Amino acid sequence: MYKIFMLITIPLLIIGWAAYWLWNRKILEEEKKQPQKKESQRLTKTKSEISDWAQQMAKFKKPEIKKPPDQYEENKQE
């Protein structure tokens, strides 16, 4: 039973992958033939806003936390 199952499924699997590869190759060739689309103003504006935000984040310095003095240090200084 297992041999019959494998004799049927393995060729079907190979045929399926071959069909997928051919279909994917066809889609890629069609996309290459399409003319390149220009970026819209909205997209360029968004890209520039994101790059500005990233530069601001790169310049950001986290605030220093003021730590309360330890009691041990106070006793040591006295």
DSSP 26-50: HHHHHHHHSPPPPPPHHHHHHHHHH
Q: What is the pLDDT of residues 61-73, one digit of tens each?
A: 888 888 776 766 5
**Residue 61 resides in a domain:** no
Q: Quick check: is 17 in a domain?
A: yes
* Number of domains the chain contains: 1
Inside any domain, residue 14: yes
Per-residue pLDDT of 20-62, as tens digits, reads 999 999 999 999 888 888 889 999 999 999 999 999 999 988 8
Domain hosting residue 19, numbered range: 1-28
73 within some domain: no
21 assigned to some structural domain: yes
Residue 58 counted as domain residue? no
